[in-house]
Amino acid sequence: MRNFTYTGLPSRIVFGSGTLGAVGDEVSRLGGNRVLLLAGPRLENLVADLTAQLGTRVVARFDGAAMHTPLEVTTRAMELAETSAVDCVVAIGGGSATGLSKALAVRGGYDQIIVPTTYAGSEVTPVLGETVDGVKTTRSSADILPETVIYDVDLTLDLPAAITLTSSINALAHAVEALYSAERNPVTDLMALEAVASISRALPRVMADLHNTDARADLLRAAWLAGTCLGSVGMGLHHKLCHTLGGSFGLPHAPTHTVVLPHAMAYNAPAAASVMERISDAMGVPDAAAGVYDLVASLGGPVSLAELGFDTESIPRACELATAKPYPNPRPVTPSGIGGLLADATSGIRPTANS
């Protein structure tokens, strides 16, 4: 028998089709009167819908959210929030908008309503990753966790194929690492395995028909489950590497997760054989690491760090950063081991459990 501790995170989830229309009611439920709207310039139609709902309660808008939540961006947004005397933040978009909302909430105590348009999953976690001087670090606090998350499947129907694929594999990574986390428990195991199975089944269906509402709903539900795992248990080597590559080398967040995940799984497989067997069973493949790689490759996704702009000359520095501080992981993290992993990921070779 294995002892465990499980803490349920108290976010309110609104899931379905057309649920964007619930934003105004959720702002009212939280007592919000002065809203800061975070939304990128490519979401003007959705911004118009939200503005119509909220009316004069929208007192400011910020559209400069950036990947990896740079401190300088947060500083500018915080100045706007303070000047506008906001009491609530509504963020619509991907992980960048969510990250900025969290960064503002932990500094200003604002209530948050997040409307994801990708499968990032960070919207249901009390974790914030911020980048300062080229180094990305994470912290966790109850003040970071959004009060309400509104999942509207309709908002994902126009998500481009490339973003759909990499965002889904990013979600898959949350489930995979939850299964071998030192803090894992029976609840997160069930959610993680369901997320793995759902993503494996739904992603090919969505890539074949981007407007398949049922398959999109399956992906979004899986991203929610995987994100809940991310918020409940600690992550390992895969996330540390991706934070290093993103924060210090400027690589794009979801594509980096997509490339690194199968190699991190192969690295950990000798020390987490039973977990990899559960993953392979959920995916219906003989080898978990190779199965993830094959899924990505078959759908035309990125399979090498080189195509994302990373080169072998950068491997020593990445190894140094990724191994500078100890963190839980099934297999010991060593510079030589990480160097080999990154070399394989840079070249894009197909990994196996014996890599």
For the entire predicted model, the pTM comes to 0.91
8 A C-beta contact, residue 177 and residue 49 = no
pLDDT in tens, the chain (355 residues): 678 777 777 789 999 999 999 999 999 999 999 999 999 878 889 999 999 999 999 999 999 999 889 999 999 999 999 999 999 999 999 989 999 999 999 999 999 999 999 998 999 999 998 999 888 888 889 999 999 999 999 999 999 999 999 999 999 999 999 999 999 999 999 999 999 999 999 999 999 999 999 999 999 999 999 999 999 998 999 999 998 999 899 999 999 999 999 999 999 999 999 999 999 999 999 999 999 999 999 999 999 999 999 999 999 999 999 998 888 999 999 999 999 999 999 999 999 755 5
- Residue ranges, comma separated, of all CATH 1.20.1090.10 domains in the chain are 161-347
Residue among 115, 88, 91, 106 nearest 224 (CA): 115
8 A C-beta contact, residue 126 and residue 47 = no
Measured from the Cβ of residue 141, the count of other Cβ atoms closer than 10 Å reads 12
What integer pLDDT is reported at residue 354 of this predicted model?
52
Residue among 83, 125, 78, 131 nearest 105 (CA): 78
- Residue ranges, comma separated, of all CATH 3.40.50.1970 domains in the chain are 12-156
Instruction: Indicate the CATH number for domain 161-347.
Output: 1.20.1090.10
Q: Is CATH 3.90.550.10 the classification given to domain 12-156?
A: no
Using DSSP's 3-state secondary structure scheme, residue 143 falls into helix
Q: Helical H runs in the chain?
A: 23-29, 44-54, 71-83, 95-108, 161-179, 186-208, 213-232, 237-249, 253-268, 273-283, 288-298, 315-322, 335-347
CA 16 centroid distance within chain? 20
